[in-house]
């Protein structure tokens, strides 16, 4: 038998049928659902008189539109009627089709990409999809996970399958170790800086190397989360003992005999020695510094010890134009040291960085300090109700509140500003989210993507600093 | 889905690379539970001078005269010409819905983000990939005083501009077949119900925890 990549194994184990031209029907084990990309899919299902193929393969939660302020009154506390209707529509659809939903007041509610692994609902070896590009997150469990559009949401609901073609395979290897203070977020931003936001287009990326193996599961979730920012729909990491230990005992994890069988299978979920990739990219972990983005695309990133680059140094005209436009939007001059950039707001949260480990890292920086006077708002938004409860049990909430941060309820929040949390025009934010696109955090808002520790440090110092 | 038929339309040149789906349709419009009506808010933050919210009367909002969609030459355009990595970012299908609702049937670019590319075909939009040099030439022609008109022939897989030699393009045979015949993917997949059930039975035996 020829040597296979992890991607080959994940792909082949889900093939229902393949056409001569390579168009395949693949089986989907887990479908995660949120309120923004599902209403039109449920409507389509109803119009065609169809029902979900396998109800129990679906798990839903509202996350994009939910308020992060006091909301014990439930859905009625959503002020914006359009947002409220969208959450109510999800609740109704899940009731009508008997789909399990962690509703707004359920302690397990949270960002869909945080609750999947947290519940053991996304397991190694699964195919996982959701109408959300950051579904790549779940690849950290050794799963094939990718984002889909609403037509495909309807397709999965109706058939439990998707029509796909196999992607090319890329291995991104980060040879370690990385320096202290360099996190999974810095690693993935450095990868995107190297290969570009379209570098992974058409590929499924396997992250490997000592620096990746050394990451916790939380770190790997952050890493795979941003595979899509490198253009790859799916990013994943091989299963190891950390993966298995992480899954054990979670509510949806297998138990008893099934557990032993599952572990035996999961232990095969790695790339075989000698297997070949279509492309290999290698980074030196030791050379990676804490990263800060300066522009309006995640590839516009430098180390915190560097300065904002000059478009005049870029030979490619289309790229140089893009840099000029980004500098103008960001209100920055080429050559400005990153550490001279002052921020107005700080956001710690999102499907990228809202897990317990992220909050611990931020709390460690914030402990006994005070948010700088130029910072108008520093938000901490836990990724789920369970992350919030865990953090409170550890006393992290007190550290944050004493330092002048706001401690909020779980949801997507200011990552994309669909709820009330947003930047005003011209405001500059140190954010642990995943996209620094124009207007992403609010029209005219200026986003710098960083790790949780860097975001907390920027809140305390009022600007970016070496950490 | 409507069948994709040969048509001749005006080309609107959007000279930017890495246009993301947040720019194509900003987040506040994603709160809708419908799949139609997004056209007036296509490229909202670039197209209007004020801040747009759902429910506004868009005909009364101040237009940004600098933005290409507001240029009188390109009114009624059905072909969008743009740069590399178009449609990157969020998987929101609201992006192709907005493009389609506005009237775009075809996009031409050197490259696209994967999810967006896939979503286009599900909504009767043909995303054409052309070499960067050809895209450059089309930009030069589309920016002249007289807007560029172009015929898109999916059956023959070619674009025709006036008397010039047709520009051939590649397209996946399955996707071409679906577009030309207006086929619904779900209907096609449900022809394989027996295979899906057989897969489930086999898989439940190998990996019972996935079905417990």
pLDDT single digits (tens) B47-76? 999 999 999 999 999 999 999 999 999 999
- A304 lies in some domain: yes
Query: What is the pLDDT, as a whole number, of residue A318?
Result: 86
Tokens read off for B20: 């993301």
Summarised one tens digit per residue, pLDDT across range A87-146 is 999 999 999 999 999 999 999 999 999 999 999 999 999 999 999 999 999 999 999 999
Find which of A51, A86, A125, A149 to mutate to test the B interface (most B CBs within 10 Å of its CB).
A149
- A444 lies in some domain: yes
On the question of pLDDT at A180 being above 90, the answer is yes
- B211 lies in some domain: no
Residue after which a domain boundary falls, among A134, A164, A194: A164
Query: What is the pLDDT, as a whole number, of residue B151?
Result: 98
Looking at residue B43, which CATH number applies to its domain?
3.20.19.10
- B199 lies in some domain: no
Which pLDDT band, with edges at 50, 70 and 90, does A233 fall under? very high
CB contact under 8 A, A152 and B118: yes
- B65 lies in some domain: yes
Q: Which of B86, B108, B83, B82 is nearest to B95 (CA)?
A: B86
Among the partner-chain residues B33, B118, B196, the one whose CB lies closest to the CB of A89 is: B33
Structural domain boundaries, residue B65: 7-181
Enclosing H/E stretch for B44:
helix B44-47
Summarised one tens digit per residue, pLDDT across range A370-405 is 999 999 999 999 999 999 999 999 999 999 999 999
On the question of pLDDT at B212 being above 90, the answer is no
Query: Across the A/B interface, how many CB contacts are shorter than 8 Å?
Result: 182
Q: A125 Cβ partners below 8 Å, 6+ apart?
A: A10, A13, A142, A143, A239, A265, A266, A269, B207
Enclosing H/E stretch for A366:
helix A356-366
Looking at residue A136, which CATH number applies to its domain?
3.30.499.10
C-alpha to C-alpha distance for A116 and A351, rounded to whole angstroms: 11
Task: Indicate the angle between helix axes A452-461 and A356-366, nearest 10 degrees.
Answer: 30
**Cβ within 8 Å of B, A 413-442:** 416-418, 435, 437-440
- The structural domain count of chain B equals 1
Query: What is the pLDDT, as a whole number, of residue B166?
Result: 97
- A63 lies in some domain: yes
List, in sequence order, every beta strand (DSSP E) within A112-190. Answer: 127-130, 144-147, 161-164, 168-175
Phi/psi for A371 (5° steps) reads -60, 135
Percent of chain A with pLDDT over 90: 97
- B85 lies in some domain: yes
**Cβ within 8 Å of B, A 376-415:** none
Of all residues in chain A, the one with the smallest CA distance to B118 is A149
Enclosing H/E stretch for A322:
helix A317-330
Q: Coil, strand or helix: which one is A166?
A: coil
- The structural domain count of chain A equals 2
Residue after which a domain boundary falls, among A164, A188, A220: A164
Among the partner-chain residues B22, B189, B210, the one whose CB lies closest to the CB of A159 is: B189
- The whole-chain average pLDDT of chain B stands at 96
- The whole-chain average pLDDT of chain A stands at 97
Structural domain boundaries, residue A55: 6-164
- A219 lies in some domain: no
CB contact under 8 A, A440 and B22: yes
- B165 lies in some domain: yes
- A197 lies in some domain: no
On whether both A299 and A154 belong to a single domain, the answer is no
Summarised one tens digit per residue, pLDDT across range A406-460 is 999 999 999 999 989 999 999 999 999 999 999 999 999 999 999 999 999 999 9
- A186 lies in some domain: no
Burial of A35-63, coded b for 16+ CB within 10 Å and e otherwise, reads bbbbbbbbbbbeeeeeebbbeebbbbbbb
CB contact under 8 A, A443 and B115: no
Residue after which a domain boundary falls, among A164, A191, A215: A164
Query: What is the pLDDT, as a whole number, of residue B1?
Result: 80
Query: What is the pLDDT, as a whole number, of residue A1?
Result: 62
Query: What is the pLDDT, as a whole number, of residue B158?
Result: 98
- B14 lies in some domain: yes
- B189 lies in some domain: no
- B209 lies in some domain: no
Q: How is residue A410 annotated by DSSP?
A: S
CB contact under 8 A, A152 and B16: no
Which residues in chain A touch residue B34, judged by CB atoms under 8 angstroms apart?
Answer: 39-40
C-alpha to C-alpha distance for B20 and B16, rounded to whole angstroms: 10
Among the partner-chain residues A80, A159, A258, the one whose CB lies closest to the CB of B208 is: A258
List, in sequence order, every beta strand (DSSP E) within B145-192. Answer: 149-153, 158-160, 167-168
C-alpha to C-alpha distance for B186 and B194, rounded to whole angstroms: 15
């Amino acid at each position: 038998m020829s040597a296979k990549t992890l991607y080959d194994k994940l792909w082949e184990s889900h093939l229902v049928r393949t056409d001569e031209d390579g168009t395949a029907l693949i089986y989907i084990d887990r479908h995660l659902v949120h309120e923004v990309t599902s209403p039109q899919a449920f409507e389509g299902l109803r119009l065609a008189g169809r029902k979900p193929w396998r109800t129990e393969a679906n798990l839903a939660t509202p996350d994009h539109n939910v308020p992060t302020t006091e909301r014990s009154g439930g859905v009625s506390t959503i002020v914006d009627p359009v947002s409220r209707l969208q959450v109510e529509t999800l609740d109704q659809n899940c009731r009508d089709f008997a789909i399990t939903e962690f509703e707004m007041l359920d302690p397990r509610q949270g960002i869909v990409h945080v609750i999947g692994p947290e519940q053991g609902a996304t397991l190694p070896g699964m195919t996982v999809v959701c109408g959300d590009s950051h579904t790549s997150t779940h690849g950290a469990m050794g799963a094939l996970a990718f984002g889909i559009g609403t037509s495909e949401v309807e397709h999965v609901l109706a058939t439990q399958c998707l029509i796909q073609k196999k992607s090319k395979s890329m291995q991104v290897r980060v040879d370690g170790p990385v320096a202290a203070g360099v996190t999974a977020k810095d690693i993935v931003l450095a990868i995107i800086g190297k290969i570009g936001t379209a570098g992974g287009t058409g590929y499924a990326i396997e992250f490997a190397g000592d620096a990746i193996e050394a990451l916790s599961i939380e770190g790997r979730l952050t890493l795979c989360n941003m595979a899509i920012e490198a253009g790859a729909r799916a990013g994943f990491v091989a299963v190891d003992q950390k993966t298995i230990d992480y899954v054990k005992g979670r509510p949806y994890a297998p138990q008893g005999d099934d557990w032993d069988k599952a572990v035996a299978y999961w232990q095969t979920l790695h790339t075989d020695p000698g297997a070949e990739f279509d492309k290999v990219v290698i980074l030196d972990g030791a050379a990676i510094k804490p990263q800060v983005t300066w522009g309006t695309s995640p590839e516009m990133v430098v180390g915190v010890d560097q300065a904002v680059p000059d478009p005049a140094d870029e030979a490619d005209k289309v790229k140089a134009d893009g840099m000029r436009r980004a500098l103008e939007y960001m209100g920055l001059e080429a050559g400005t040291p990153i550490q001279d950039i002052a921020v107005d707001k700080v956001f710690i949260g999102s499907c990228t960085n809202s897990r317990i480990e992220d909050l611990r890292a931020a709390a460690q920086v914030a402990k006994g300090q005070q948010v700088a006077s130029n910072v108008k708002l520093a938000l901490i938004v836990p990724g789920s109700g369970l992350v919030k409860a865990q953090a409170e049990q550890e006393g992290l909430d007190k550290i944050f509140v004493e330092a002048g941060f706001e401690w909020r309820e779980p949801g997507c929040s200011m990552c994309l500003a669909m709820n009330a949390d947003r930047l005003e025009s011209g405001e500059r934010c140190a954010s642990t989210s995943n996209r620094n696109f124009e207007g992403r955090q609010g029209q005219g808002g200026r986003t710098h993507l960083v790790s949780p520790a860097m975001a907390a440090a920027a809140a305390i110092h009022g600007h970016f600093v070496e950490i | 889905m409507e069948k994709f038929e040969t048509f001749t339309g005006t080309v609107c040149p959007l000279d930017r690379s890495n246009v993301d789906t947040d720019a194509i349709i900003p987040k506040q419009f994603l709160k809708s539970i419908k799949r139609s009506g997004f056209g007036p808010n296509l490229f909202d933050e670039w197209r209007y001078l004020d801040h747009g919210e759902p429910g506004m009367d868009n005909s009364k909002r101040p237009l940004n005269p600098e933005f290409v969609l507001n240029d009188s030459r390109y009114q009624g355009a059905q072909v969008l010409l743009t740069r590399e990595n178009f449609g990157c970012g969020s998987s929101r299908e609201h992006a192709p819905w907005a493009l389609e609702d506005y009237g775009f049937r075809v996009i031409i670019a050197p490259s696209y983000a994967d999810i967006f590319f896939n979503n286009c075909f599900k909504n009767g939009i043909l995303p054409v990939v052309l070499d960067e040099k050809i895209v450059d030439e089309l930009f030069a022609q589309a920016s002249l005083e007289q807007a560029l008109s172009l015929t898109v022939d999916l059956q023959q897989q070619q674009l025709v501009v006036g008397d010039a030699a047709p520009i051939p393009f590649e397209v996946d045979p399955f996707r071409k077949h679906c577009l030309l015949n207006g086929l619904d993917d779900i209907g096609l997949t449900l022809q394989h119900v027996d295979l899906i059930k057989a897969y489930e039975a086999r898989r439940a035996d190998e990996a019972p925890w996935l079905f417990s």
